[in-house]
Chains A and B, each alone.
Chain A
Amino acid sequence: MKIEVKNGSFSYPKKDRLVLDKINFGLSEGDIMAVLGPNGAGKTTLLRCLLGFLKWKTGETLIDGENRTNITTQDFWKKVSYVPQVREKPPAYTVEEMVMLGRSGHFGAFSRPGHKDVEAVNKALERTGLDKIAKRLCSELSGGEYQMVLIARALASEAKVLVLDEPESNLDFKNQLMVLNMVKEIANEEMTCIFNTHYPAHALRWANLSFMLSRSGESIFGPTEEVITEKNISDLFGVRAVIGQVESEEGKILDVVPVAPL
């Protein structure tokens, strides 16, 4: 599924300063886009506008060429699913109950989940390797496990676009790898993924497209290797950085090392 933003700009009510100015990007099936930028540049605002939690001041979101405003909320959330950043303590549901909530848009208010819903939940649980802890309470899981539950919930909704808000922040190395590898796998199945991140290295390794925001409202969009360069990082992040190559069993991996603030 194609998702595009054309000329999007946004400012908070009663404030003149544009947080986002002339945002343009487009993705199609199998693409992974990383959204990068320093604190306060509007990464989360961008995702919230894209998802419709905030309204673009000008510009539009297009899904398969159709304007977001012409699609009903219910239909929109069948095509797009959102994996939030874990901020609040999760409610005391079991993992499978939580994943079932991803199916809410698929059955009526007064009815119960059907056979198809149960199947979708089971598939999502197996897919993410959560079937072993399906009966455990979300409130008792580790951060990495709960992040995976949220991804499973998004998968259960069978949407074609996955939007993740800093999926790997607050996670340890192993969980970062597991979560981002999962995103890659999902994209390989003809899904479109967008994620926010603080780590340019993660963009280089997992995203084929990148979108870089600066605090002054400029933005750069393109293939990751063209966007994440030493020059762009120093311009937009205000940090002198070195991009180098590391040899590993998994092949050559690009890494970004921040050297000194400018």
Chain B
Amino acid sequence: MENTCSVLSSQLATEGKDRKQKYLIREEVTVLKRVEIGSANSTKTVRLRVDDAFSPGQWIFLIALPILCLLIGCCAGRMLISPTDIFSAIGQGIGIKSDVSSQITTVVWSIRIPRLLMACLVGCGLSLAGCAFQSVFSNPLATPDTLGAASGAGFGAVLALLLGFNMVGVQLLAFVFGIGAVAITGLAGIGLNNSKTTPILAGIMISSLFSSLISFVKFTADTESQLPEITYWLLGSLEGSGYETLALGAPPIIICTIILLLLRWRMNLLPLPMDEAISSGVNIRRLRIVTEVCAAMMTASCISMCGQVGWVGLIVPHICRMRFGSNHRVLLPASISIGIAFMIIVDTLARTISPKEIPISVLTAIVGAPFFIYLLRKNRGWAI
């Protein structure tokens, strides 16, 4: 009897101790949690900037980053050129005499600069187009190709190559077909209901239609001469950059960039549910159409210049949303800066890391995907 009693009491004692320990542990956990929440809050307040504009540090970063990338992009290549020579060569080109060799001047002015300018235009155009489509459709998966602009442009270019057009012809036909594809999507999907998903579905259909047409052209193309050219074009490259290409492709991109930048306050209405957006009193239909047309023009123009460059338009806007928030007032300028920097980095890698140039759409994903996953993990998941 006594034995059992003592056993019981000792059991009770240990249980009590256990409970106390458990309690203690729980207390520790709550304290830990509190600390975690505290730190999470503090990081959040840092992320949300005070006046929803950039801090001076961010301004410097967003301006300096593309400039630094431009400089590196100008120096690097099959022929390494020192920064001082770059500046002298640029000076030479605009009439300031210096002792830099004419070979360097030629390389800088007729190869590096047009190519870098093209990278800037494409980076800016595709990032902004991606941003715009994501907001218009409140869909984080939207890309510049959502309404079929890229597939349409691809088909136009491939068709032109099949018909043996020169590069200007290829570019023009690509642009026309890119806009045409979006117009067809518009006709197919607009006016049915106020849903934001309907145009996306129509866009997927038109996109896959043009992808099939591209396959069909490839199937009929001459395997010796035309098919390699078509395949190479589809993979995307800035190699063919010249001032002619730029003169044709730059105006739509620059004009649409300016329009979207001016609309940056208004664009904040786009992600709202339809009724809420309408109740702001703004003509939301017109705003959506203007945004979609601008984004489609920029996409078609980019693709017509350099082939199907994927990915930039998806990841750059998301990177910017994570770092700078979703307010278009900051999101658009940030996307331009990061888009330009990203494109220059990728293109510089494409032409330097191997003796033969690597197609750019291969690299955008190889460089972009791991960085994006890293950011995703750091942000503990992500939604617009």
* Chain A interface (Cβ < 8 Å from any Cβ of B): 48, 51, 53, 73-74, 76-78, 81-82, 84, 87-89, 91-94, 96-97, 100-102, 104-105, 107, 109-113, 135-137, 139-140, 157
**Count of B interface residues, CB-CB < 8 Å:** 30
Task: Judge whether B48 and A94 touch: CB under 8 Å.
Answer: yes
* Contact of A84 with B276 at beta-carbon distance under 8 Å, contacts A93-B326, A97-B268, A101-B269 already known: yes
A73 vs B138: C-alpha distance in the bound complex, in angstroms? 24
Other CB < 8 Å A-B pairs besides A104-B282, A107-B265, 10 of them? A48-B275, A53-B278, A73-B283, A94-B52, A104-B268, A109-B287, A110-B263, A113-B265, A136-B48, A157-B281
* Residues of chain A lying within 8 A (CB to CB) of residue B44: 136-137, 140
Q: Mark B273-307, 1 if CB is under 8 A from A, else 0.
A: 10110111111000100000000000000000000
Q: Does B351 reach chain A (CB closer than 8 Å)?
A: no
Task: Judge whether A92 and B325 touch: CB under 8 Å.
Answer: yes
* Residues of chain A lying within 8 A (CB to CB) of residue B282: 74, 104-105, 109
Across the interface, A97 reaches (CB within 8 A) one of B52, B278, B280, B283, namely B52
A100 vs B264: C-alpha distance in the bound complex, in angstroms? 13
* Residues of chain A lying within 8 A (CB to CB) of residue B45: 135
A236 vs B102: C-alpha distance in the bound complex, in angstroms? 91
* Residues of chain A lying within 8 A (CB to CB) of residue B266: 104, 109
Identify the closest chain A residue to B276 (Cβ): A84
Identify the closest chain B residue to A77 (Cβ): B281
Task: Judge whether B384 and A105 touch: CB under 8 Å.
Answer: no
Task: Judge whether A92 and B278 touch: CB under 8 Å.
Answer: no
Task: Judge whether B321 and A102 touch: CB under 8 Å.
Answer: no
Task: Judge whether B325 and A81 touch: CB under 8 Å.
Answer: no
Task: Judge whether B287 and A77 touch: CB under 8 Å.
Answer: no
* Residues of chain B lying within 8 A (CB to CB) of residue A92: 321, 325-326, 383-384
Q: Does B368 reach chain A (CB closer than 8 Å)?
A: no
Distance between A117 CB and nearest chain B CB, rounded to angstroms: 10
* Residues of chain B lying within 8 A (CB to CB) of residue A136: 44, 48
Task: Judge whether A84 and B281 touch: CB under 8 Å.
Answer: no
Q: Does B35 reach chain A (CB closer than 8 Å)?
A: no
Could you say which of B44, B281, B326 has the most chain A C-beta atoms within 10 Å of its C-beta? Answer: B281
Identify the closest chain A residue to B270 (Cβ): A91
A73 vs B50: C-alpha distance in the bound complex, in angstroms? 34
- The 3 A-B residue pairs whose C-beta atoms are closest, nearest first, are A105-B281, A77-B281, A82-B279
Show 15 A/B contacts (Cβ-Cβ < 8 Å), sorted by A: A73-B283, A76-B281, A81-B279, A82-B279, A87-B273, A91-B138, A92-B326, A94-B52, A104-B269, A107-B265, A109-B287, A110-B263, A113-B265, A135-B50, A136-B44
Task: Judge whether B281 and A112 touch: CB under 8 Å.
Answer: no
Q: Does B12 reach chain A (CB closer than 8 Å)?
A: no
Task: Judge whether A77 and B279 touch: CB under 8 Å.
Answer: yes
Q: Mark B345-384, 1 if CB is under 8 A from A, else 0.
A: 0000000000000000000000000000000000000011
Q: Does B327 reach chain A (CB closer than 8 Å)?
A: yes
Task: Judge whether A84 and B383 touch: CB under 8 Å.
Answer: no
Distance between B13 CB and nearest chain A CB, rounded to angstroms: 43
Q: Does B272 reach chain A (CB closer than 8 Å)?
A: yes
Task: Judge whether A84 and B273 touch: CB under 8 Å.
Answer: yes
Task: Judge whether A91 and B281 touch: CB under 8 Å.
Answer: no
Q: Which of B309-327 contact A (CB under 8 A)?
A: 321, 325-327
A81 vs B276: C-alpha distance in the bound complex, in angstroms? 10
A82 vs B276: C-alpha distance in the bound complex, in angstroms? 7
Distance between A53 CB and nearest chain B CB, rounded to angstroms: 6
Task: Judge whether B280 and A102 touch: CB under 8 Å.
Answer: yes
A209 vs B327: C-alpha distance in the bound complex, in angstroms? 40
* Residues of chain A lying within 8 A (CB to CB) of residue B326: 91-93
* Residues of chain A lying within 8 A (CB to CB) of residue B252: none
Across the interface, A110 reaches (CB within 8 A) one of B50, B262, B275, B278, namely B262
Distance between B258 CB and nearest chain A CB, rounded to angstroms: 10
Task: Judge whether A89 and B281 touch: CB under 8 Å.
Answer: no
A218 vs B2: C-alpha distance in the bound complex, in angstroms? 81
Across the interface, A109 reaches (CB within 8 A) one of B50, B263, B321, B327, namely B263
* Residues of chain A lying within 8 A (CB to CB) of residue B263: 109-110
* Contact of A93 with B327 at beta-carbon distance under 8 Å, contacts A84-B275, A157-B281 already known: yes
* Contact of A78 with B321 at beta-carbon distance under 8 Å, contacts A84-B275, A92-B384 already known: no
Could you say which of B265, B279, B325 has the most chain A C-beta atoms within 10 Å of its C-beta? Answer: B279
Distance between A126 CB and nearest chain B CB, rounded to angstroms: 18
Q: Does B242 reach chain A (CB closer than 8 Å)?
A: no
* Residues of chain B lying within 8 A (CB to CB) of residue A53: 275, 278
A84 vs B278: C-alpha distance in the bound complex, in angstroms? 12
Could you say which of B263, B269, B280 has the most chain A C-beta atoms within 10 Å of its C-beta? Answer: B280
Q: Does B271 reach chain A (CB closer than 8 Å)?
A: yes
